[in-house]
Chain A
Amino acid sequence: MIQTIALTKKFDQLRALDAVELNFTKGGIHALVGSNGSGKSTLMRLIAGVYSPDEGQLLIGGREAYDCPAVKQRVFFLPDTPSFFRNATVLTMADFYRRLYPNFSMELLKSLQNVFPIRLDQRLDRMSKGMQRQAALMLALSSGAEVLLLDEAFDGLDPVVRGTLKALLISWAEDRGTTTIIASHNLRELEDLCDHVTLLHKGKVICSNTLEELRGSLHKVQAAYRKLPTEGQLLKLNVLKCQRTGSLLQMVIRGDREEIMTQVNALEPLFAETIAPSLEEIFIYEMEVRGYDIRELL
């Protein structure tokens, strides 16, 4: 659906994106995560056609996105700070988007009122930040775009609305095949929503994979021993991180779960268990492996 080939964007001397190679599949919910200034928003603006690439290509459905109305009609960009016209209501903005997005649905917008507690005739500049974001999300969902680019989508939303939004995005992806790309710092929010995660750091892609694959490759093991195993005994395991608290070892191990547990049990622990690592933990470990300072990232 969306493909970037050696995509580079420079701002004066700064390389905001550096030869980024990515693929976003149709109907997927993709998470873009990374530190401040990692290039998430820049990538989103490039996909939305707000920026032009300095080098490389950005293809949506096989066509260059920049300054191409036919491609941009399929994409709706919701920036981190939504912009509305002065004194505009949701209806005013809907009237604006309706003229430019052929699949924009006023009926859908009205029906979304049942989900988001927003009055369509209320002035946007009199709404709170969270309400403004809800209004922007209503417009984005009503646009009929095949690709939704949501920058900091959950920013300012209360837990109930966050849950509702997640459900809506999943339903949009399943029923309509909408591709959603969400940029966020909040990995916990993305964990139960996204099926694909891309980690950016300083304009480069650290890793990009499905959440399942990421989870399947890393395991967090807790095991208590009467006699702690030696380093030599642990060498058989691909331990990324090991932390000792008394007789308890907490390890992050890469590999197949069954094989890991067989190896761990062979060392005769008092007890041993695997815990599924959170998305946040996966990225911390992945970053550490790559020599990045995690404190810089999260």
Chain B
Amino acid sequence: MTAATRAPSAQAWADAFAEASNTDPEIQAHGKYFTCSYLLDATERSYVVEVQSGRVVNVAVDPGPLDVAYDFAIRASAETWRGFGEPVPAPMYHGIWAATFQRDMRLEGKVLVLMQNLRCITRQIELLRVVGAPV
């Protein structure tokens, strides 16, 4: 990987992601009850995203094993997450259902909480097309 294409630092990505979500019209319009936390595991980096009433209130970067609790986990290889970070993702890198059915993504933990918040989570993950890959 060259310096030119290198992803930003993990903290810079976390800040950009929180900003994008908290200023997104769709999430702000429909996120009144969007409250949950999830682990975004990109193998080489990981984050715990904490959302309260539609606002990202914290993104923990590379948390230790017992540092931060979360409801569910979205895990995939760095290569898969990099596909999500393209402005127009290639087929099967275009969403968590697609990558779970056809690539190496896994949805673990309290999947019910994911389903309860699916509309806003789907939008949040699509923000990677603008923010860039988390790894």
Question: Is chain B a partner of chain A in the same complex?
Answer: no
Q: Which residues of B contact A (CB under 8 A)?
A: none
Q: Which residues of A contact B (CB under 8 A)?
A: none
